[in-house]
Amino acid sequence: MKTHYYLGWFNNYFPDNLSKVLQEDITERKSLAMISADPSIYENDGATERSWLDHAGIMFEEYHLINYRVQKEEAQAIIENASVIFLLGGDILKLHSFLEEYELSDLIKKSYAVVLGASAGAINMSAKWLCSKNIGDKVEVNTVYEGIGLDIFSILSHFDLENNMELVQSELSVLSEEIDIYVSNKDCALRTKGDKIDVIGDIYLLSNSKFQKLDETF
């Protein structure tokens, strides 16, 4: 049964309830593969996300950071052998381009590793996502991109929905007629395990242009 975590951003560490379910789900801890969302930047990349796992008591025998210092073939081998794959936060479009350039998306989709994504990483894990200048992306033209497609929905992760609900509803309304969109702020997580969806923190579902706040399940 495949397990995926769509994370927001955590200013401190994972809350206890999230740490607990991660500890239960991540039983194989041989290798952690972290994929950079800004693969040209090397210093301290992934340090924050790794600290979340460290604080939760989830350690690995091997740690790998995939960026432009790693050759394409080596990166693919790391993904194929990973116990956990973590798509890091950062630049959504740079991560999308890097996944395409290194041909990692299909490998991630086929993998039975636990897959985590934070912010930009979570967005790229979804089936489709809207890149829009009106919700903070550095683009001139709004574009819907194909994501990895680990689950058949869209994610807008690490966004201040509470103060921008009308804007988000306006921007994502058309896409929400085609596919469900989960919108989360900081300190949130959405977990899919098989066909089951679990929620930690304040997460909203936008479906057919209508918002619904989801109840926490942990």
Q: Give me the residue spans of the domains in the chain.
A: 3-213
Tokens of 143: 């574009």
pLDDT category at 29 given cuts 50, 70, 90 is very high
Q: What is the pLDDT of residues 70-84, one digit of tens each?
A: 999 999 999 999 999
CB atoms within 10 A of CB 42: 12
Residue 100 has pLDDT above 80, yes or no: yes
Q: What is the per-residue pLDDT for 166? A: 86
- What is the rounded CA–CA span in Å between residue 80 and residue 133? 35
Q: What is the pLDDT of residues 116-170, one digit of tens each?
A: 999 999 999 999 999 988 777 778 888 999 999 999 999 998 777 777 888 888 8
Hey, which CATH number is domain 3-213, 3.40.50.880, 3.30.499.10, 3.40.50.720, 3.30.470.20?
3.40.50.880
- What is the rounded CA–CA span in Å between residue 26 and residue 119? 20
- What is the rounded CA–CA span in Å between residue 62 and residue 33? 9
In terms of Cα–Cα distance, which of 109, 107, 111, 115 is closest to 73? Answer: 107
Residues 6+ away with beta carbon under 8 Å from 62:
30, 31, 32
Tokens of 55: 């604080």
